[in-house]
Amino acid sequence: MMKIRIIPCLDIIKNKVVKGVNFKNIKVMGNAVEMAKNYSLSGADELCMLDINASYQNRKTFIKTVESIAKVINIPLTVGGGVSALSDITDLLNAGADKVSINSAAVKNPKLIRKASLKHGSQCIVVAIDGKRYGKKMRVVVKGGREITNKELVSWAKRAQNLGAGEILLTSMDTDGVQNGFDSEMLKNVTNSVSIPVIASGGVGSLNHFYLGYLTKSTGLLAASVFHSKKYNIITVKKYLKKRGVPVRL
């Protein structure tokens, strides 16, 4: 049976880990390299790192952060933010990332997914999708949630899979940072429509929320605030899930 992955997420601005609510009200949580090392030692299955202001910063700074983190962890590292070309993906993989997440660039140029998966293998390519409700429809948004697209959420997830994505990182803009739980409806809509792994992101505030995330058929459960604030540690989450019959690595 596939074991559920518990994945801390580091949102990075200038080598600092930050966190906000609905992608706003950003505050500094700590040093990226130190936090990454701690999560690796404390039982995280994978680590996700996103340069949330990549389009405004010098990418060389971020590359150095990736290199520094890759040296101090022994778990898979997914890196994203500001990836706009095949060369960006290659650079991040060469810097030590195991997987690269693409979001806005994939929406703008879907062929990038195909090119990247053909060059590096689909297992290295994660398509990050930020979803938001507009009336009764679930739409894809880009640029940190600031720009709505004409893409319907599920159809875009299916297309990303068909183009060669090896995994989907799905964040609900409606629940991100609010700590009221994952967006189960949005997640189920996607997991029931694709066959590749889906990482649930956005909204964890309690141990039960991790369990509810598991029920959506997501294979990875990503969280930030509850880990950064030390409300819960990785082992606490895994022991709770194991008691409820969820397969985890302990």
Tell me the catalytic residues.
11, 130
- The secondary structure of the chain, three-state, reads CCCCEEEEEEEEECCEEEEEECCEEEEEEEEHHHHHHHHHHCCCCCEEEEECCHHHCCHHHHHHHHHHHHHHCCCCEEEECCCCCHHHHHHHHHCCCCEEEECHHHHHCCHHHHHHHHHHCHHHEEEEEEEEEECCEEEEEECCCCEEEEEEHHHHHHHHHHHCCCEEEEEECCCCCCCCCCCHHHHHHHHCCCCCCEEEECCCCCHHHHHHHHCCCCCEEEECHHHHCCCCCHHHHHHHHHHCCCCCCC
CA 14 – CA 7 distance, rounded (Å): 21
The single residue listed with the structure tokens 């701690």 is 38
CA 32 – CA 100 distance, rounded (Å): 17
